[in-house]
Amino acid sequence: MTPRQRLTRGLQYTAVGPVDITRGTVGLGVQSASSAGSRLRQRYRESQIAGEVSAAQETLARELAAAQEVVANLPQALQDARKPKNRRRRIALVTAVGVAALAGGAVAFSIIRRSMQPEPSPRPPSVEVAPKP
């Protein structure tokens, strides 16, 4: 190696050395800032989840209390449901539903029957209708 080449190589490494050190230092700083930011985001998410869990627990407690109240009142509700109601009203309602179903069936039958019949064409036939002897 010539002295000129040695000098060029030495200057090159002398110039590149501080640049590499600076780049490495900046890279480590950016990496640590990114890591710290991700840890902060994770802590924030965990705090949000903890808040949501506590709200869900409160809602669940309220729903459980309401369900217990309904279960406690269930025997009375069943007893009230078993009491005979106005029988005539029930018979009239069943009769009205039957008549409505029968009328609906009749209308549906007439519509279907009409749709099965071909409509006459307003134009004259294009071929002879009378058979040839």
pLDDT band at 126 (very low <50, low <70, confident <90, very high): confident
* Per-residue model confidence as pLDDT tens digits over 75-120: 787 777 676 667 777 788 889 999 999 998 888 888 887 777 667 7
Locus of tokens 């230092």: 25
